[in-house]
Amino acid sequence: MQLAIRNRSSIAFFATLATLASIHSSSAQLLNRGGAAKQAAAKTTAAPAAAAAPAQDPNAPKLQQARIPASPGDPVAIVNNQIITRQQLADEAVARKGEEILDSIIARVLIDQALKAKNLTVTAEEVNEEIEKTAQKMAGLSREAWLRTLAKERNISPAQYARDIVYPTVALTKLAQSRVQVTQEEIDQAFESMYGDKLRIRVIMVDKLRAAQDAWEKLKANPAGFEKMAMEISIDQSRSIGGLYSEPVARFSYPRNISDAAFRQLVDGDPEDKDPSHKPKDGDISGPIQLTETTWVLLKREGLIPRKQVDKKDAAVRENLRQIVFDAKIKGAIAEVYGDIEKNSAIENRLSGRVKLANEEAQPEAQEGAAAARQAAAARQPAADAAVRPTAAAAAAAAKKLNVPTPKGLDPSEVQRANNLRQAPAAPAAPRCSAVRHRWRRTSPSATRKSRRVLCCRVRPAPPATRWR
């Protein structure tokens, strides 16, 4: 469970955004600082070593300096005297990864334009500071150890990490800062979430309200059966251990509808009930709580972890909480900022063929298209109004009167047979079985599964209460 600020988007979403070309060289120098000094030291030590080295064998192959292929016609490989040019390589790369890379370049340009419009810049020092802060926060490592870990485990070079991940985060954070305000109420809620009471619970999660209500009725009669029922009917991952959650639930934690209902029913109780014997206790079970549109949960209180004794007025504590709330809110603000940047921009992607107009949602064509889509959706709905049915019937009758010419070469007897079938009255529908499950006992024991079902449904319909036999 996280803080009570809903994280609508993750910063990892922007890890695919490429950085501006202007910071590439400075970031690379920053991330590889000391490289120039090491090279200079290598040169100074290499000169005496070269003088003392013995003469090389004249028959040994000599090294030749080669130029990196830069022009489209330059060869990048030669296979049995057949040249593969740089242009061929570029065409293949575009065909395989072109759209993905172009999207990252487009995002890079959008961020660059937004920074220029706000007269903002991102320096190499800010990128380096963010790397050090992230390394300490995520893994408790130094900057160098964090970069080595990324290169070894994620195959992300230091320059790539600074260019494609850290820079967009810093840039979009600067653009979104003005949208984030942290209130004293949010700091107080964060204090309760971090240092207040924690609730240990078991969970039963179902996908229907009726199933949640039935489970609740059974649990009111047998509260001790919660763990067994969780293993039988719960769709949550914790069903294998009887619905027990490994992490306790904090007050004001996300999702708020669950944490608020859990503390209201299982910790606080009814504020107007002054009887101490009615206070919630371990083993109590909540009523059905709606988690999403298609998910309901029942919670059982397993225990209550008491609050920590921390001074709520401590300035350092409150500043730490303010930063936590800010970090949680800035993630959502970053998503909103980038969405607004993209919405207000005109983008013509000629590689994929996609064209986007600036503020296209407000264009008349877009509004007409939305209206047409709504009308089409309404037309697909079944006509429940009695006034609509005569119109549908008239349309069907008119369709029958259409005089469609007979295709040439068609046998007249086939035409006559089709007309006879069209004009013949429809056969009465066979009675359908109203039972939830078909009854086989009334059919022949030698009949197959399919024939048994047909006999049950069409000959002797079983009553609704019958079950499989």
- Per-residue confidence band for 412, with pLDDT thresholds at 50, 70 and 90: low
- Is 90 exceeded by the pLDDT of residue 204? yes
pTM (two decimals): 0.56
pLDDT given for residue 60 in this prediction: 65
Strand bridging mode 198-206 / 82-85: unpaired
Pick the CATH number of 197-305 from 3.10.50.40, 1.10.10.60, 3.30.465.10, 3.40.190.10: 3.10.50.40
Tell whether the model's pLDDT for residue 5 goes beyond 50.
Answer: no
Provide the 8-state DSSP code for 238.
G
| Half-sphere CA count of 119, side-chain side, radius 13 A | 0
Mapping DSSP to helix (H, G, I), strand (E, B) and coil, where does residue 430 land?
Answer: coil
Paired strand residues for 138: none
CB 56 within 8 A of CB 153: no
Quick one: average pLDDT of 67-71? 80
Structure tokens that stand for 69 in this block:
């292929």
The helix (run of H) or strand (run of E) holding residue 326 is: helix 315-343
Please answer whether residues 371 and 364 qualify as being in contact, where contact means their C-beta atoms are separated by less than 8 angstroms. Answer: no
Of the pLDDT bands very low, low, confident and very high (cuts 50, 70, 90), residue 358 is confident
Specify whether the CB–CB gap between 233 and 215 falls below 8 A: yes
Mean pLDDT of 325-340: 92
Which residues touch 229 (CB under 8 Å, ≥6 apart)? 204, 215, 218, 219
Check whether 334 has a pLDDT greater than 90: yes
CA atoms of 328 and 433, how far apart (whole Å): 57
Residue 22: what pLDDT?
Answer: 40
At residue 384, the pLDDT reads 42
For residue 247, what are the contacts with CB-CB under 8 A and spacing of at least 6?
1
**In contact, 297 and 203? CB cutoff 8 Å:** yes
- Judged against a pLDDT cut of 70, whether residue 433 lies above it is answered with no
CATH 3.10.50.40 domain residues, the chain: 197-305
Reported as half-sphere exposure (CB side, CA atoms, 13 A), residue 2 has a value of 10
The least confident of 25-29, 96-100, 315-319 is 25-29
Q: How open is the CA angle 367-369-370, to the nearest 5 degrees?
A: 65
Q: How does the average pLDDT of the chain come out, rounded?
A: 76
As a whole number of angstroms, the distance between CA 165 and CA 13 comes to 10
Q: Has residue 48 got a pLDDT over 50? A: no
When pLDDT is cut at 50, 70 and 90, the band that residue 181 belongs to is very high
Kindly report which listed range (3-7, 133-137, 316-320, 463-467) carries the lowest average pLDDT score: 3-7
| φ/ψ of residue 202, rounded to 5 | -115, 150
Mean pLDDT of 277-301: 92
Q: What angle do CA 103, 108, 111 make, to 5 degrees?
A: 125
CB-CB contact of 340 with 14 (8 Å):
no
| pLDDT score of 296 more than 90 | yes
What's the pLDDT score for residue 41?
Answer: 44
Higher pLDDT, 465 or 167: 167
In percent, the amount of the chain with pLDDT more than 90 equals: 46
Reading the block at residue 247, the tokens are 């992490």
Interval 230-245: pLDDT, tens: 999 999 999 999 999 8
